[in-house]
Amino acid sequence: MNFASDNAYGAAPEILDAIVAANEGAVASYGDDPFTNRLKTRMATLFERDVAVFPVITGTAANVLALSTLCPPHGAVVCHAAAHIMVDECGGVEFFTHGAQLVPIPGEHGKLTPVAIERALKRFRKGDAHSVQPAVISITEATEAGTIYTLKEIADIASLARAHGLKLHIDGARFANALAHLGCSPAEAIWGVDALSFGATKNGALGAEAVIFFDPTDARDFEYRRMKGGHLLSKMRFVSAQLLAYTENGRWLAWAARANSLAQRLAQGLAAVADAEIVHPVEANAIFARLPDRTIAQLRAKGAHFYDWGTSENGRTLARFVTSFATPEADIERFLDLMRGK
Amino acid sequence: MNFASDNAYGAAPEILDAIVAANEGAVASYGDDPFTNRLKTRMATLFERDVAVFPVITGTAANVLALSTLCPPHGAVVCHAAAHIMVDECGGVEFFTHGAQLVPIPGEHGKLTPVAIERALKRFRKGDAHSVQPAVISITEATEAGTIYTLKEIADIASLARAHGLKLHIDGARFANALAHLGCSPAEAIWGVDALSFGATKNGALGAEAVIFFDPTDARDFEYRRMKGGHLLSKMRFVSAQLLAYTENGRWLAWAARANSLAQRLAQGLAAVADAEIVHPVEANAIFARLPDRTIAQLRAKGAHFYDWGTSENGRTLARFVTSFATPEADIERFLDLMRGK
Amino acid sequence: MNFASDNAYGAAPEILDAIVAANEGAVASYGDDPFTNRLKTRMATLFERDVAVFPVITGTAANVLALSTLCPPHGAVVCHAAAHIMVDECGGVEFFTHGAQLVPIPGEHGKLTPVAIERALKRFRKGDAHSVQPAVISITEATEAGTIYTLKEIADIASLARAHGLKLHIDGARFANALAHLGCSPAEAIWGVDALSFGATKNGALGAEAVIFFDPTDARDFEYRRMKGGHLLSKMRFVSAQLLAYTENGRWLAWAARANSLAQRLAQGLAAVADAEIVHPVEANAIFARLPDRTIAQLRAKGAHFYDWGTSENGRTLARFVTSFATPEADIERFLDLMRGK
Amino acid sequence: MNFASDNAYGAAPEILDAIVAANEGAVASYGDDPFTNRLKTRMATLFERDVAVFPVITGTAANVLALSTLCPPHGAVVCHAAAHIMVDECGGVEFFTHGAQLVPIPGEHGKLTPVAIERALKRFRKGDAHSVQPAVISITEATEAGTIYTLKEIADIASLARAHGLKLHIDGARFANALAHLGCSPAEAIWGVDALSFGATKNGALGAEAVIFFDPTDARDFEYRRMKGGHLLSKMRFVSAQLLAYTENGRWLAWAARANSLAQRLAQGLAAVADAEIVHPVEANAIFARLPDRTIAQLRAKGAHFYDWGTSENGRTLARFVTSFATPEADIERFLDLMRGK
């Protein structure tokens, strides 16, 4: 029963098949291969516009390379206080941007709101060299809290970004989970967005992400940044092949839908247990539940893996449970049985 | 009537005299001169211990060089949300540390408290490579709010720093104002402190600051960082001579005491005016007063210079008034007359 | 006939099998998995000492992370003028070290000599803050010229490094090719070496390299640097599994030996052709031959892929031919037939 | 007898007078003062075009800020192998550019030639992300060897720069010495040049340099870089006042002419001594002479200060002698007497 992370599971068989299939013969290295070229067409089709696409191997690489392309060293990136770029990337954005500042903004259920962003922007003096200059808003879709911005919410933030001359970036480590929930097209989900960290690793890939710029002119220096960062893979075909297989026949959405639906099942089960308090709407593939410490200990003793999210208070601790494309359904049932004291 | 900044005034005559006196003859450049050597003895005497002393030309240089010496690229520097390093140095700390993160903590009257620091430290996972690792606490003495940490308050923060294995840095751009208020010795004021940005520019120097490490082994790489940052002056004697003249015969404390006392006079005058609300205790040389926008406009029309601190709310705006070693006493009286509608 | 790069071929079937085998079940992410743990034991056994091992995904990542761990921002890295870190990593070392300087040294057949290093070191003033301070010597084994340092040559450079207080790093993108040629044990090949970029990608892996420190205390900050650089893989098991399969049963050395022997075959064939001048001893898996431009054009017209190495001079151009673990033997014969005008 | 550096002497009395005169009253800080505004007009007049002017306090600051404005992180700066930015700034350019590469080019008498630059540029693959991309040529005028580029030589390099799409920067730490020698107008001396590090410190200022961009649009980000680097002075008026006094009434050229002429006198005296071999044409204020080690020891024993330039070979060592605006004429005569064994 591993609910620790959607990274705990390996790759989907279709992804492994695609890797094996891509192994045939000699091709040009460093991205000048047929797979990477096909990926560009694929993404342009998916997002219904001309795009610049750059495969990389980690979500952090995607985020830091995208943001350093959009934000100058004297800039600032507005994000949620709990964003991955803020709390889980060891200062990677500060490093790759050469000293830009992250502006952490609190917000209910992992979401930024236009009001909160407007308030945060006020403390920066535009054009005053003493002050870093806000350059990018970065939102996470699905959020770190397992919630999902609606299209209206993204559009409102996009309008605000445009009004302030800011770029809008999406950390889409769980973009598929968001799309599966929203039921909209990829193109609809990125209206007003400048760059997307398109994640696949958490949802069935072996290791594959892509930075996508929706205005290719924004990507000007990207190739140099990727190389300088050590993120240009020689055998790129294997990353591109994963992304092709991932986005083929709606697989990515089906896998994400499965993870989401397991999360729903788990959440419903938990909600029926008196002692569990679910703190965020469950919309993607994560559940945050405050449980008695005793229950948590028992669950772990029976072999359930999951993370505490903060420390114990008044005998209860917030715990995070993540489902994935590969989580066995039986694990959900077994876990709920444990919760019910069986 | 210039209350905009303590930088608005030039240098004290004694400082200019010292510069002229230091001009005699040829000496070694880059700090290997008699003035700089004498400065080391001077600071060791003042702080009653062995110290490493490095003159620089700006307060920002002092802060960023000191902090990048104490904090690794994967580290974090805890500071007040309104600290100069946070809001006025354009991401200098992030740049010089190569990507360390600043951790802004709110706090009444510009001060950090051990409780607030403890709370902030909790969100970093010690030893987890995903998380930046807190390495330094930086406090400002006197604070950006014109208040002054008591010796007890500093000692408590120093104890907390030691307990967590953190270094303690003081941004002492207005260190003389703090000392003049506290009435203690310099050595007492830095108990438990690892590094001090020792400011003189705001208090009568032409341009002179020093980074002081109270354990010289902490300073190991400093000379390279200063050079690499373009902050090693060839004619260093002129900076060192300023710092010598500044700390001679208690001048620095007398000048700061004058500025503090003018601030008291101004604050008392303002307090007697119905419409003025002073928002922080006036302990150093700055007054923060919420005034009717109409009053503010009238004061400016009559020639008073000062900064708004934020934007107008409900017809009132917070304004900052700073006094200095050289502010004419008559300006205070004239200003108060204006306030009284004369 | 692809002799462009050893990156042009995909992965060996044994590597793909290992990836598929590693896909089973849920494991901890970010390197806390059984595969990565086993890899540490494997490398300690191979190198006959306690080691710190960090899998990464590109050779550039391995180099820049290793070097930035060993070299401070005010340091310098001595390397061959044609080293990958000098001419092929887009300033990655300068970026990750935060501004250290590379010191390019010319040398016959891609090799540094103690005499050339000594000469280069002379121009740096030890302890003078104006001058970057040499901190690391980085050699490439096998070299960019397709030659291989003898154990004696490495030992001499190691002695020089020790005498000057410098660390010694090996860029081992083709380390297996060197070992296969030298016929010594891995432990013998790294005598006096502090860190190794252990390459597998060019020799049959899908994408797998490792940074190995032979004194684990040198690795202190490495995990933070890897994370901050975006180089910590969530599904690390797949990289570690590749490295395990690679080093199992002497596979890596057999694959490299095959590539080396194909290079010998190609070199011998070329040597028999009047017009070809081989400019470096062929010891690893690359041949550098100066050929008539006409011949080059004909070879390309017939479908041979390879790189020009510099520009045409007097009707001749230097060309590089690289063989790999997977180059078809028939391609060598067909290429030589073409050379012979058949 | 101090010939160690033109930094060994203090400031000219006119400079000190200007500082004292600038001390009057309160003015806006950080460069929004009448002196700094007047400086802009002064420089526009001197260089006969619209310029962007930024006073800073060290030559290294001027160089690293100018170059990081012109050269992206993935760029390269071509310079002479003995350039100050290459050997005396501790990797400052690499740090401020965030990892650009310096390309050291040897050249007789401290000068770059178009042929040598062309040759160096060849090894960079344009548009290939593996390779840093040359972005700037930086020449030093007067050079580190005490020689001076002719207007023709600069124009030829400028043409080459334009042809390759590169910017041209002059490190003008001794720009006045060059102008005094060339006898041309400042405007003539910067034909085809994009940015100038305009030095005054070595030639009579207390501490004052300026970065000048000849196309103000190039300066876009400069103010942020200067602040972020800790190089924005609060009491800027004192730097600007120095530069105003310096460039008033041709003082700077007169002072430089004096230094140059003392160097001529010294060189002629040395030339008459059998044992001295002058290795570079003496055009500015420095003489490089190879002298017997015995002579060098005797000169030092008699109180002469100067630097060895490299180490002893065959009983002789290259020594550098620098004259300045303030070197006493009598020192020249006394030194020559010593050389003549008197």
Look-up of token digits 């893979």: A233
- pLDDT for the residue numbered A273: 84
C-alpha to C-alpha distance for B22 and C183, rounded to whole angstroms = 69
Distance CA C72, CA D162 (A): 36
Q: Are residues C73 and C99 in contact, defined by beta-carbon separation less than 8 angstroms?
A: yes
Q: Give ranges for CATH 3.40.640.10 in chain C.
A: 13-250
pLDDT band per the 50, 70, 90 thresholds, residue B64? very high
Please state the φ and ψ torsions of residue B163, each to the nearest 5 degrees. -60, -30
| pLDDT for B180 beyond 90 | yes
Q: Quick one: tokens of B328?
A: 């004419």
Contact criterion met (CB < 8 Å) for B61 and D237: no
Sheet holding D277-278, edge to edge: D277-278, D286-292, D316-322, D307-308
Q: Bridge partners of A56?
A: A209
Which class would CATH give C13-250?
alpha beta
Residue of B nearest to D173 (CA): B234
Asked, as a colleague might, if the bond just before B100 is cis with ω within 30 of 0, I would say no
Give, in order, the Cα–Cα distances in Å from D260 to each of A259, D170, D304: 79, 20, 19
Determine the residue of chain C that is closest to B129 in CA distance: C224
Q: Name the segment(s) of chain D with CATH classification 3.90.1150.10.
A: 252-339
Task: Tell me: pLDDT of A28 over 80.
Answer: yes
Q: Kindly list the partner chains of chain A, i.e. chains with 3 or more CB atom pairs below 8 Å.
A: B, C, D
Using 50, 70 and 90 to split pLDDT, how confident is the model at D81? very high
pLDDT for position D91: 97
Maximum C-alpha span of chain D? 63
Q: Which chains have at least 3 CB atom pairs separated by less than 8 Å from chain D?
A: A, B, C
Q: Distance from B258 to chain D by nearest Cα, in Å? A: 17
Neighbours of B338 (CB within 10 A): 17
Cβ atoms of B55 and B36 closer than 8 Å = yes
Contact A200, A209 (CB under 8 A): yes
Distance CA B192, CA B167 (A): 9
Question: In B172-313, which ranges are continuous DSSP H helix?
Answer: 175-182, 186-189, 222-228, 237-246, 251-271, 293-301
pLDDT of residue B273: 84
Cα–Cα distance measured from residue B128 to residue B309, given in angstroms and rounded to the nearest whole number: 39
Q: In terms of DSSP bridges, do strands C52-56 and C75-80 run parallel, antiparallel, or are they unpaired? A: unpaired
* Residues β-bridged to residue A317: A291
What's the pLDDT tens digit per position in B260-278?
A: 999 999 999 998 887 899 9
The closest CB to that of B10, out of D4, D22, D61, belongs to: D22
- For residues B282 and B77, the answer to whether their CB atoms sit within 8 Å is no
C vs D: CB pairs below 8 A: 60
Instruction: Annotate C120-129 with b (16+ C-beta within 10 A) or e (fewer).
Output: bbeebeeeeb
On chain B, the residues whose CB falls within 8 A of the CB of D228 are: 89-92, 95
User: Are the Cβ atoms of A57 and C60 closer than 8 angstroms?
Assistant: no
Q: Which residue of A has its CA nearest to C65?
A: A230
Q: Has residue C165 got a pLDDT over 80? A: yes
Contact between residue C151 and residue C180 where contact means Cβ atoms under 8 Å apart: no
Residue B342 confidence (pLDDT) above 80: no
DSSP D249: G
- The whole-angstrom separation of Cα A328 and Cα A333 is 9
Residue with tokens 């001309």, as numbered in its chain: A50
Question: What's the confidence (pLDDT) of residue D341?
Answer: 79
Cβ-contact D59, D209 below 8 angstroms: yes
Q: Which chain A residue is nearest to residue C229, measuring alpha carbons?
A: A92
As a whole number of Å, the end-to-end CA separation of chain D is 15
What secondary structure, in 3-state letters, does chain A show?
A: CECCCCCCCCCCHHHHHHHHHHCCCCCCCCCCCHHHHHHHHHHHHHHCCCCEEEEECCHHHHHHHHHHHHCCCCEEEEEECCCHHHHCCCCHHHHHCCCCEEEEECCHHHCCCHHHHHHHHCCCCCCCCCCCEEEEEEEECCCCCCCCCCHHHHHHHHHHHHHHCCEEEEEECCHHHHHHHHCCCHHHHCCCCCEEEEECHHHCCCCCEEEEECCHHHHCCHHHHHHHCCCCCCCCHHHHHHHHHHCHHHHHHHHHHHHHHHHHHHHHHHHCCCCCEECCCCCCCEEEEEEEHHHHHHHHHCCCECEECCCCECCEEEEEEECCCCCCHHHHHHHHHHHCCC
Quick: pLDDT tens for A289-311.
999 999 999 999 999 999 999 88
State how far the Cα of B239 lies from the Cα of B210, in Å rounded to an integer.
Answer: 9
Question: Which pLDDT does position A175 carry in this prediction?
Answer: 98
Q: How far is D161 from chain A (nearest CA, A)?
A: 21
Q: Is the dihedral of CA A97, B144, B76, A174 positive or negative?
A: negative
Rounded distance between C-alpha atoms, residue A83 and residue B198, angstroms: 36
Q: How far is B78 from chain A (nearest CA, A)?
A: 14
Task: Answer with the residue of higher pLDDT: A341 or C305.
Answer: C305
Q: Cβ distance C95 to A228 under 8 Å?
A: yes
Range list of H helices, chain B: 13-21, 34-47, 59-70, 84-87, 92-96, 114-121, 151-164, 175-182, 186-189, 222-228, 237-246, 251-271, 293-301, 329-339
Relative to beta strand C195-199, strand C75-80 is unpaired
Contact B111, B80 (CB under 8 A): yes
Q: What is the pLDDT of residues C229-264, one digit of tens each?
A: 999 999 999 999 999 999 999 999 999 999 999 999
Determine the straight-line distance between the first and last CA of chain B, rounded to whole angstroms: 15
CA dihedral D196, D197, D198, D199 (to 10 degrees): -160
Name the CATH code of domain D252-339 (choices 3.30.70.20, 3.90.1150.10, 3.30.70.100, 3.40.50.1400).
3.90.1150.10
Compute CA distances C94 → A331, C68, D41, D72, whole Å: 49, 9, 39, 13
* CA atoms of B56 and B60, how far apart (whole Å): 9
CA separation for the pair D47, D45 (Å, rounded): 6
> Phi then psi for A197, rounded to 5 degrees?
-85, 105
Contacts of D331 (CB under 8 A, 6+ apart): D1, D2, D3
pLDDT tens string D126-161? 999 999 999 999 999 999 999 999 999 999 999 999
CATH of domain D13-251: 3.40.640.10
- D228 and C CB contact within 8 Å: no
- Residue C274's pLDDT is 75
Lookup: tokens for A236: 């790129």
Give D305's DSSP letter: B
Q: What does the pLDDT read at residue C341? A: 79
Touching subunits of C (3+ CB pairs, under 8 Å) are: A, B, D
- Smallest CA–CA distance from D207 into chain B, residue: B235
Strands C277-278, C209-213: pairing is unpaired
pLDDT, one tens digit per residue, over D16-40 is 999 999 999 999 999 999 999 999 9
> Which amino acid type is present at position D210?
A
* A33, A326, D158 from C25: Cα distances, Å: 32, 9, 64
| Tens of pLDDT, residues B85-125 | 999 999 999 999 999 999 999 999 999 999 999 999 999 99
Q: Would you say C97 and C74 are in contact if contact means Cβ atoms under 8 Å apart? A: no
DSSP one-letter string for C54-71: EEES-HHHHHHHHHHHHS
H/E stretch holding C213: strand C209-213
- The string of pLDDT tens digits covering residues B292-313 is 999 999 999 999 999 999 889 9
Compute the distance between CA of residue B183 and CA of residue B167 in angstroms, rounded to an integer: 25
Please check the confidence at residue A203 and state whether its pLDDT lies above 80.
yes
What's the CATH number of domain A13-249, 3.10.129.10, 1.10.1200.10, 3.40.640.10, 1.20.1070.10? 3.40.640.10
Q: What is the mean pLDDT of residues C184-211?
A: 98
Q: What is the pLDDT of residues A89-127, one digit of tens each?
A: 999 999 999 999 999 999 999 999 999 999 999 999 999
Residue in A with minimal Cα distance to B98: A95
| Element holding D205 (H helix, E strand) | none
Does ipTM come in above 0.90? Answer: yes
Q: Which residues of D touch C96 (CB under 8 A)?
A: 99
Cα angle for residues D90, D94, D97 (degrees, 5° grid): 135
Three-state secondary structure call for residue D84:
helix
- Report how far residue C1's alpha carbon sits from residue A105's, in angstroms, rounded to the nearest whole number: 56
Give span(s): CATH 3.40.640.10, chain D.
13-251
Give C130's contacts in chain B (Cβ within 8 Å).
30, 227, 232
What span, in angstroms and rounded, lies between the C-alpha atoms of D141 and D157? 13
**Is any Cβ of chain C less than 8 angstroms from the Cβ of D99?**
yes
Token pair recorded at residue A156: 């409102």
Distance CA A322, CA A299 (A): 15
Q: Could you tell me which residues come within 8 angstroms of residue D39 by beta carbon, excluding any fewer than 6 positions away?
A: D53, D55, D210, D240, D243, D244
**pLDDT tens, D198-220?**
999 999 999 999 999 999 999 98
Instruction: Name the pTM for this structure.
Output: 0.97
Is a pLDDT exceeding 80 seen at residue B167? yes
Say if the Cβ atoms of A5 and C29 lie within 8 Å. Answer: yes
Q: Chain D residues with CB inside 8 Å of A221's CB?
A: 72, 74
CB contact under 8 A, C129 and D94: no
Token pair, residue B223, equals: 């000379």
The confidence score (pLDDT) of residue D77 equals: 98
Chain position carrying tokens 């715990």: A319
